[in-house]
Amino acid sequence: MEISNLQRARYTYSPKLPAILREELENIALKRGELAEAISDQGDLKLFFRNTYGKPIVNFEKGDNLHVGKKLNVGVILSGGQAPGGHNVIAGLFDGLKKGNAESQLIGFLGGPAGLIENKYTILTADTIDQYRNTGGFDVIGSGRTKIETPDQFAASLETAKKLNLDAIVIIGGDDSNTNAALLAEYFVENDYPTQIIGCPKTIDGDLKNEYIETSFGFDTAVKTYSELIGNIGRDANSAKKYWHFIKLMGRSASHIALECALQTQPNVCFISEEVSEKQISFAQIIDIITNAVVKRADKGENFGVILIPEGMIEFIPEMKQLIEELNDTMGVYGREFEQLNSFIERLYFLDRYISETSYTLLKNLPSQIAEQLLIDRDPHGNVQVSRIDTEKLLIRMTEKRLKELKAQGVYKGKFATFSHFFGYEGRCAAPSNFDADYCYSLGFTAFMLIAAGLTGYISSVRNLTAPAEQWIAGGIPLTMMMNMEQRHGIKKPVIKKALVELDGAPFKTFRAKREQWAINTCYLFPGAIQYFGPPEVCDQPTKTLVLEKTSHPKGV
């Protein structure tokens, strides 16, 4: 297999570990802290997780550990979308296992949770692991989005654990995947089988975090990748001085990516979905925000700019939210009839009977390309696939219409030429930054230590992340601590609650204090490419979001 010079050099990088994990394993003891309660719905969750609720928060410290050398069979699963650093989680887990006992075995389930259900796996060896250290992607064993939720799937997972004599399974994933991990841990205990379940916090969206999970892995690399691209576009815009760039960024429910990229690059406009939802900002107001910036910059002779848009924002605009909900409800009842219609016009007229006049008027007035996406691009349940809606193009069309009106009124005299972009997949498999390489390796090694301590139903936790890696704190928290009860398909289910952008948090307040200046003036920053070699202040820095959050809430140090 041919490899690049950078990849060859990255193979030699040794990820940094918290000081406690660099001790001899027999000198690393488990310290149990306070018992953990769920963030809400404690009574319901106690009943749901009768065997695994109410466990203590744990850390590792110096002390005696007499059982760490036990031979173990451990399975590992990559679940959900890709995020930079997943391979290093597996490498850290592998190295921990082999350091504990050279005869321990790591089994990689292929294609995500489906591999566990179907007993499809590969034995991960040192030769295999060494080919993937410090690399992006999930290609070592692949990933998948299968959920373990039916009785047959749980039974099949248990049968696989028995066949392979698994001591533990590590599930690397986001909020849904770690919810699955919690349910699987409860199921195994309920069925009196000793396989332990440990989770690891993954998602580039950054919405899996709390006091003990300070960030989800992959976020650091993804936002630095996107910010490089945005900075390049800002530099180009300021050079050509004739284009407005509308850039959609990943972030279905949470806008952490857009917010961090704004802090790193200082665009003229950046929308935050949580603010749109909280303040019930309408389409008209959103277009006003954009056109105000365009007009004021044109008055200064600057007919160019950069606008950031979270991919899920369209779902939070009040009138669009109502339209999408009405479309989803209608398709749930009349989906078969709708699918039999041949043309867009026929489908549009069909909906006139079933959705409100307000929603129908909005749908008719949308650009035809966007309206067709709303009606045609639907998931297997008939719901609108919000991530496929070209929100950036919709905003361009609506802004053009509004500027045309302002030009007729003599208010606007500039030129408005545009480009649209969507940055998503560009960041999911990037070579992990030093921060993510170190953090992920530490998460994997910590997962091994949690297994060696006999724990189940925990998620690996490495915190104090704004300090040098040697000062990081390794431990774990019960998965149930992160959960609440939510309505899913008409049934209340336990799920890990997504961590959204906090409008009273330091990152958003910092952005809010500067955005009016950025809107009018050209203040772009140019972060440049991720640096892997050089001084720590260049190569090892965490995100601005993490620094601001830790500065305002310095807990756990």
Q: Which of 99-113, 209-223, 456-470, 479-493 has the lowest mean pLDDT?
A: 479-493
* Residue 295 confidence (pLDDT): 98
* Residue 382 confidence (pLDDT): 62
Mean pLDDT of 447-467: 98
Q: Nearest 5°: phi and psi at 363?
A: -60, -45
Q: Encode pLDDT of 312-369 as tens digits.
A: 999 999 999 999 899 988 988 888 898 888 888 898 889 999 999 999 999 998 888 8
Q: Encode pLDDT of 46-77 as tens digits.
A: 999 999 999 999 999 999 998 899 999 999 99
* Residue 375 confidence (pLDDT): 82
* Residue 555 confidence (pLDDT): 52
User: CA 74 to CA 166: how far, in whole Å?
Assistant: 6
Residue 517 or 382, more confident:
517
* Residue 511 confidence (pLDDT): 98
Tokens 């140019």: give the residue.
526
Which CATH number applies to 220-426+507-531?
Answer: 3.40.50.460
The closest alpha carbon to 77, from 68, 89, 59, 67, belongs to 89
Q: Nearest 5°: phi and psi at 104?
A: -65, 155
Mean pLDDT of 280-295: 97
* Residue 387 confidence (pLDDT): 75
Query: Residue 454: is its pLDDT beyond 70?
Result: yes
* Residue 317 confidence (pLDDT): 95
Q: Encode pLDDT of 126-173 as tens digits.
A: 999 999 999 999 999 999 999 999 999 999 999 999 999 999 999 999
Q: What is the pTM of this model?
A: 0.95
Query: Following DSSP, what letter does each residue of 342-382 receive, concatenated?
Result: -SHHHHHHHHTTTS-HHHHHHHHHS-HHHHHHHHH-B-TTS
Query: Residue 421: is its pLDDT beyond 80?
Result: yes
Is 205 a residue of the active site? Answer: yes
User: CA 16 to CA 14: how far, in whole Å?
Assistant: 6
Residue 125, judged by CB atoms within 10 A of its CB (0-12, 13-18, 19+), counts as exposed
pLDDT averaged over every residue in the chain: 95
* Residue 552 confidence (pLDDT): 76
Contacts of 419 (CB under 8 A, 6+ apart): 243, 244, 245, 246
The closest alpha carbon to 452, from 25, 58, 166, 147, belongs to 25
Query: Residue 379: is its pLDDT beyond 70?
Result: no
* Residue 554 confidence (pLDDT): 58
- What is each CA distance from 349 to 26, 280, 343, 373, 450, in whole angstroms? 72, 29, 10, 16, 59
Share of the chain above pLDDT 70, in %: 98
* Residue 556 confidence (pLDDT): 44
* Residue 338 confidence (pLDDT): 87
Query: Residue 488: is its pLDDT beyond 90?
Result: no
Taking the CA atoms of 149, 155, 160 and 165 in sequence, report the sign of the dihedral they define.
Answer: positive
pLDDT interval class at 376 (50, 70, 90)? confident
User: What CATH architecture applies to the domain 25-218+432-488?
Assistant: 3-Layer(aba) Sandwich (3.40)
Which part of the chain has CATH 3.40.50.450? Answer: 25-218+432-488
Which part of the chain has CATH 3.40.50.460? Answer: 220-426+507-531
Query: Residue 275: is its pLDDT beyond 70?
Result: yes
Strands 121-124 and 56-62: unpaired
User: CA 213 to CA 220: how far, in whole Å?
Assistant: 14
Residue 386 or 234, more confident:
234
User: CA 486 to CA 494: how far, in whole Å?
Assistant: 6
3-state SS of the chain: helix, strand, coil percent to 5?
45, 15, 35
* Residue 204 confidence (pLDDT): 95
Mean pLDDT of 206-228: 97
Q: Interhelix angle for 368-376 vs 318-339, to 10°? A: 60
Residue 324 is inside which H or E element, if any?
A: helix 318-339
Q: Which of 205, 207, 220, 438 is catalytic?
A: 205
